[in-house]
């Protein structure tokens, strides 16, 4: 049996529930693969069936007349004929034995007198057409997802566009969602603080109802924000604009894993609390003491909550502050020098952009390969070589690779080389250190040090601090830039391509 695949949707067909031609073809191919039908021709028509005289329809009947095919595969009888002339011609060809089979994924037809009667009804009656709508709606949703369009209510930060039936960005809310990710990625906020922050920034607008704590993790884990869609357990690439980068998303997932679900809210009045630990691994606490003279002192000491501890000293707040400042001085860069370094970076950027062109080309070749793989995967799935579950798993891997690559390409196209942005942030953070010193903002200093370092120990009244790369190199130079501004060690990283890792966001 040789089948002709026939798909039709007319532009004047104002019923939106009808699948697009593309969707019909997809469903029909899937159906053909399942039913093992041999397709000899695939015809599509963008004309109405209400009036006779469709070109492709006539071409199909001619092919059948010449014996090139003896079966028709179409989405629904209403795709074939919606006027009595066309319906009559098909039925006449069935009578003559020219058409031996009619297959519809949505309609069961057998060439018996009873079947022919049913077909006549299907051709002629719009009631059937209405009955078929429900099936079409769910299939239409699946097709929408396949086309990269989210079929239901848009997530926070997006809008359903009733005209295009696509998903648009809600600029104001999108900004807040983006900020949620960025704030969480600093590691300094918990879910409750984020929900509270959202409430605070949302009170101005009546339309924004605020946020429950339980909503925050759902937002932070929604792949929709990086341009993907999870629909019934399957990952699809969306056509909507991503709000955040995959890099930021990954960072947030990492932090979420680290923090787990329960986390206490930090609340204290001591600026350097939470910065240091004791060599015995217990936390350092602070307390206020009032001398007989009436003067208040703040002391930092070990909590002694982790068993025996050798530390017997208390460190006064003023003393600790001095040590913090002296460290900050080592990693600070004046605003004037910052400008110079940034200008130098800019020059480097244009150079790097040139070099990046080749790299981008390579990524694009890789991307084409992945796209070919996806197509091949779909083919083997349609041919039932692999199971639906297997298909989903493999597809997810490929789609994620594809998004990752796409992002790399954007990175290279926009930034030139991915180390440049961290380098710029790094320079700016050195400048931030200088500003913190200028404004004597103690609690911000704590945040800054936590960001650029790890494992801060208070031992023997000394603050032992191990900065992350590249801050360690700057600190080891004994001070910031020399007066004549020769670029320090970290400057050469771009050339050797060993990128500075773990830079603060
Ligand atoms: Zn201790």
**Contacts (Cβ under 8 Å, ≥6 apart) of 310:** 279, 280
Query: What's the CA gap between 98 and 2, in Å, rounded?
Result: 11
**So what's the pLDDT on residue 143?**
76
* Ligand 1 centroid from CA 18, angstroms: 72
**So what's the pLDDT on residue 369?**
93
**Contacts (Cβ under 8 Å, ≥6 apart) of 407:** 245, 246, 247
For residue 412, the cross-strand partners are none
Q: Please choose, from the candidates 186, 256, 188, the residue with its C-alpha nearest in 3D space to the C-alpha of residue 219.
A: 256
| Alpha carbon distances (Å) from 200 to 41, 173, 176, 242, 267 | 62, 13, 11, 25, 18
* Ligand 1 centroid from CA 270, angstroms: 19
* Ligand 1 centroid from CA 459, angstroms: 9
Beta strands across the sheet bearing 101-103: 38-45, 2-8, 71-74, 101-103
**So what's the pLDDT on residue 164?**
82
Q: Please choose, from the candidates 377, 379, 368, 383, the residue with its C-alpha nearest in 3D space to the C-alpha of residue 396.
A: 377
Query: What's the CA gap between 149 and 146, in Å, rounded?
Result: 7
Q: What is the CATH number of domain 158-259?
A: 3.90.1750.20
* Ligand 1 centroid from CA 297, angstroms: 21
* Ligand 1 centroid from CA 311, angstroms: 6
**So what's the pLDDT on residue 82?**
66
**So what's the pLDDT on residue 488?**
41
State in Å, rounded, how far the first CA of the chain is from the last one: 63
* Ligand 1 centroid from CA 271, angstroms: 20
**So what's the pLDDT on residue 124?**
58
* Ligand 1 centroid from CA 466, angstroms: 19
467 in helix, strand or coil?
strand
> Which tokens hold the place of 204?
């101005």
Helix boundaries (H) for 301-387: 317-330, 335-382
* Ligand 1 centroid from CA 301, angstroms: 8
* Ligand 1 centroid from CA 281, angstroms: 6
* Ligand 1 centroid from CA 322, angstroms: 22
**So what's the pLDDT on residue 409?**
81
| Alpha carbon distances (Å) from 343 to 21, 346, 442 | 54, 5, 30
**What tens-digit pLDDT sequence spans the chain (505 residues)?**
899 999 988 765 555 556 788 888 888 998 898 888 999 999 998 876 666 667 889 899 999 999 999 999 998 887 887 666 777 788 888 888 899 888 888 777 776 666 676 676 666 554 344 445 445 556 667 777 778 888 888 899 998 887 788 899 998 889 989 999 999 998 888 888 888 888 777 755 545 556 777 788 889 999 999 999 888 777 888 889 999 999 999 999 988 887 764 444 344 468 898 889 999 989 899 988 877 777 878 899 998 888 889 888 889 999 999 999 988 888 888 888 888 888 887 887 777 777 777 888 888 999 999 999 999 998 888 888 888 888 888 888 888 888 888 888 877 766 555 566 677 788 888 888 988 888 888 888 888 888 888 788 999 999 988 888 777 777 776 554 443 333 444 444 433 333 333 333 3
* Ligand 1 centroid from CA 282, angstroms: 5
* Ligand 1 centroid from CA 284, angstroms: 8
- Architecture field, domain 2-146: 3-Layer(aba) Sandwich (3.40)
Q: What angle, 0 to 180 degrees and rounded to 10, lies between the N-to-C axes of helices 388-415 and 335-382?
A: 150
* Ligand 1 centroid from CA 185, angstroms: 30
**So what's the pLDDT on residue 144?**
77
* Ligand 1 centroid from CA 304, angstroms: 5
* Ligand 1 centroid from CA 299, angstroms: 14
> Which tokens hold the place of 86?
């066309």
* Ligand 1 centroid from CA 367, angstroms: 54
* Ligand 1 centroid from CA 504, angstroms: 29
* Ligand 1 centroid from CA 285, angstroms: 10
* Ligand 1 centroid from CA 431, angstroms: 34
35, 384 Cβ separation under 8 angstroms = no
Domain boundaries, the chain: 2-146, 158-259, 268-280+321-505
Q: What share of the chain is helix, strand, coil (3-state, %, to 5)?
A: 50, 15, 35
């Amino acid at each position: 049996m040789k089948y002709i695949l026939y798909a039709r949707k007319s532009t004047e067909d104002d019923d939106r529930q009808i699948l697009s031609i593309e969707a019909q073809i997809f469903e029909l191919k899937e159906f053909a693969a399942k039913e093992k039908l041999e397709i000899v021709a695939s015809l599509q028509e963008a004309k109405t069936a209400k009036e006779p005289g469709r070109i492709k329809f006539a071409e199909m009947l001619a092919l059948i007349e010449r014996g090139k095919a003896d079966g028709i595969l179409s989405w629904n009888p209403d795709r074939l004929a919606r006027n009595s002339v066309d319906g009559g011609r098909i039925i006449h060809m069935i009578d003559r034995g020219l058409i031996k089979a009619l297959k519809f994924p949505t309609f069961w037809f057998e060439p018996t007198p009873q079947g022919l009667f049913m077909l006549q009804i299907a051709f002629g009656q719009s009631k059937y057409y209405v009955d078929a709508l429900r099936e079409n709606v769910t299939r239409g949703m699946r097709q929408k997802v396949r086309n990269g369009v989210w079929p239901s209510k848009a997530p926070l930060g997006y809008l359903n566009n009733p005209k295009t039936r696509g998903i648009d960005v809600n600029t104001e809310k999108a900004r807040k969602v983006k900020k949620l990710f960025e704030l969480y990625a600093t590691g300094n906020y918990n879910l409750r603080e984020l929900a509270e922050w959202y409430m605070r920034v949302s009170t101005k607008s009546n339309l924004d109802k605020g946020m429950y704590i339980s909503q925050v993790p759902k937002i932070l884990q929604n792949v929709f924000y990086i341009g993907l869609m999870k629909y019934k357990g399957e990952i699809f690439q969306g056509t909507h604009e991503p709000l955040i980068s995959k890099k930021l998303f990954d960072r947030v997932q990492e932090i979420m894993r680290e923090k787990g679900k329960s986390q206490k809210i930090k609340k204290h009045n001591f600026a350097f609390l939470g910065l240091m630990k004791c060599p015995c691994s217990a936390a350092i606490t602070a307390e206020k003491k009032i001398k007989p003279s009436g003067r208040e002192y703040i002391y930092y000491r070990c909590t002694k909550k982790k068993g025996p501890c050798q530390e017997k000293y208390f460190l006064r707040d003023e003393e600790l502050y001095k040590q913090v400042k002296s460290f900050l001085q080592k990693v600070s860069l004046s605003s004037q020098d910052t400008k110079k370094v940034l200008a130098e970076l800019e020059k480097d950027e244009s150079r790097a952009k040139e070099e990046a062109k080749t790299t981008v080309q390579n990524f694009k070749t890789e991307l084409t390969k992945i796209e070919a793989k996806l197509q091949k995967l779909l083919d083997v799935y349609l041919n039932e070589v692999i199971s639906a579950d297997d298909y989903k798993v493999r597809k997810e891997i490929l789609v994620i690779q594809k998004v990752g690559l796409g992002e790399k390409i954007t990175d290279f196209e926009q930034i030139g080389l991915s180390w440049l942005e961290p380098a710029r942030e790094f320079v700016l953070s050195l400048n931030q250190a200088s500003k913190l010193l200028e404004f004597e903002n103690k609690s911000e200093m704590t945040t800054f040090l936590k960001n650029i370092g790890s494992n801060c120990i208070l031992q023997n009244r000394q603050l032992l601090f191990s900065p992350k790369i590249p801050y360690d190199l700057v600190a080891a130079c004994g001070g910031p830039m020399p007066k004549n501004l020769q670029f320090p060690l970290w400057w050469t990283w771009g050339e050797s391509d060993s990128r500075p890792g773990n830079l603060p966001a």
